[in-house]
A = this chain, B = another copy of it.
Amino acid sequence: MDLQFIATAQEQVRRQRPLVHNITNLVVTNIVANALLAIGASPVMAYAKEEVADVASVSAALALNMGTLDERVVEAMEIAAKAANSKGVPIIFDPVGVGFTAYRNEVATRLINQYELTVVRGNAAEIGYLVGAGGTVKGVDSIDAGDDLTERMLQYAKVQNCVMIATGAIDYVTDGDHVWALHNGDELLGSITGSGCMLTGVIGAFIGVQPRFASRAQIAKASIAAITSYNVAGELAVLASKGPGTLQSKLFDELYHQQGESLVLRGRVEQLY
């Protein structure tokens, strides 16, 4: 597979500096903003019901992450999602911990049913729960996913008209027609809290530079570019670090300095069907 599109997408983010509106969790607010700055995007974290519609309306993308919910955050997410939908602003949704508590299940279901989501990204167990593939969610860490995960993801993506992404040792992306398996990344990234949440923000930036009402295939391609870009930076950061603490710092350095050629050289994208 020719991976030049990944380098092109990354360059486009740097050039266009998309404004990404994040309603994310309290654990990762700082690092999601830093990941977006490092790739050249412009993050804005805004939570007040008084302003989220204004912010979402003028943003390139809206990223919703339910890591630390409460009723006010949910209210803000719904106002922002409604505004984004009415303006054609793409939404990426990260259903952190879905399958773990009834409250998270209810909120995830509501958001998925009431709003048009462009991308849904979670770990394998979260996505497995959503698409009915089984799997176990322990706290906010994925334990394992069911066997027929990718088939069910594909069906779900087709029915919901969105791109579904399940990340893990291998990352799966489907637009409802095809499924891709992405083989970059490093296990050590799992020992930083929010490594998945940062990726969600980064995908937001990459889909934010696509044309409005891009096809699911285009969105899938932009997501593949985002994931590969993030994971290749992660691999290089692991090489330059001595554990999860220095990895966190080095990850931002690598995202900031990332070269298109290294992306094309190191990227490992496989189309499954």
Name A residues whose Cβ lies closer than 8 Å to a Cβ of B.
19, 25-31, 33-34, 37-38, 42-51, 54-55, 59, 67-72, 97, 100-104, 138-141, 190-194, 241-246, 248-254, 256-257
Contacts and interface: CB of A to CB of B under 8 A. Distances in A.
Given A34-B245, A248-B245, A250-B246, A140 B26 contact: no
B244 A37 contact: yes
A19 to B, nearest CB: 5
Contacts of A244: 34, 37-38, 252-253, 256
A245 to B, nearest CB: 3
Nearest to A106: B50
A114 to B, nearest CB: 18
Q: How many copies of this chain does the complex contain? A: 3
A249 B245 CA distance: 4
Given A34-B192, A72-B70, A191-B37, A248 B249 contact: yes
Given A245-B252, A248-B249, A97 B44 contact: yes
List 3 tightest A-B contacts by C-beta distance, closest first. A243-B253, A245-B252, A245-B249
A50 B103 contact: yes
B46 A68 contact: yes
B37 A192 contact: yes
B38 A27 contact: no
B102 A54 contact: yes
Contacts of A245: 34, 38, 248-253, 256
A12 to B, nearest CB: 18
A31 B31 CA distance: 11
Contacts of A26: 26, 29, 45, 47
B243 A37 contact: no
